[in-house]
Amino acid sequence: MPDRILCIVHQKHSRTRRVGRFLKRKGYTLDIRRPCIGHALPERLDDYAGVVVFGGPQSAYEYEKFDFIRQELDWFPTVLDSDVPFLGICLGCQMLAQVLGGRVHTHPEGLFEVGYFPVFPTDAGSEIFGDADVVHAYQWHKDGYEVPDSATVLATGERFANQAFRYGRSAYGIQFHPELTPSTMELWSGFAHKREVPGAQPVDQMKATRDAHDRKVRRWLDGFLDQWLATDARLREYSTF
């Protein structure tokens, strides 16, 4: 089986944070691509064990403003037509929804979701959230999305209704940011308050919720990545040799 994970990030200095750290700990190597500065996207994915598309300040519907967003959207069917597990986080989740026919949109009252907000697993979501009734996960986004008819809703939220979904066997989209470290959370949260982002939680509230729930989120992410990578249909082929 391949041991490389393709990671798509959306700014020159963006990092993969906990997702990358956990994957490397599991024995994978990372191929980090930045289409925003001209990095090409692979035409074939046979050499990859998974694809992760991370978040960014852009929107999925800004493909006329950003050529690389259009490039990624056009490339998504290549991933979905392969047997390679796909994970979209925040912008990556919204792009997946849009490619599958779901509308990506801002909040009707112009609110952002910045801070630790509850995420409620659906019955179908027990496949990745176990028996958790609620997960407190960090959010930083102004866009939400409609879940395509072809997908399964795995988690919902209050301010933005859709928080996680699955398409097919191995393509997942999650709106929240389990990859964030505490220091990055404080950086992003401070930035939100400098900009006076509407709907952002007070920083003290974010820190208190983080201290209470970050260990659970970290543990969930570690287990979820194992589950996600195990959905690779090619594993059955390799196991027969």
Give me the pLDDT at residue 193, please: 74
What number is the average pLDDT over the span 108-123? 95
Are residues 155 and 163 in contact, defined by beta-carbon separation less than 8 angstroms?
Answer: yes
Domains of the chain: 4-239 (3.40.50.880)
Residue 177 is among the residues annotated as catalytic for this protein:
yes
Residue 90 is among the residues annotated as catalytic for this protein:
yes
Give me the pLDDT at residue 241, please: 40
Residue 193 is among the residues annotated as catalytic for this protein:
no
The least confident of 42-56, 57-71, 178-192 is 178-192
Query: Catalytic pick from 10, 93, 179, 213?
Result: 179
Query: Catalytic pick from 7, 10, 72, 90?
Result: 90
- The answer, yes or no, to whether residue 238 has pLDDT greater than 70, is no
Query: Catalytic pick from 10, 141, 177, 213?
Result: 177
Q: What percentage of the chain exceeds 90 in pLDDT?
A: 84
Give me the pLDDT at residue 129, please: 95
The per-residue pLDDT for range 53-112, each reduced to its tens digit, is: 999 999 999 999 999 999 999 999 999 999 899 999 999 999 999 999 999 999 999 999
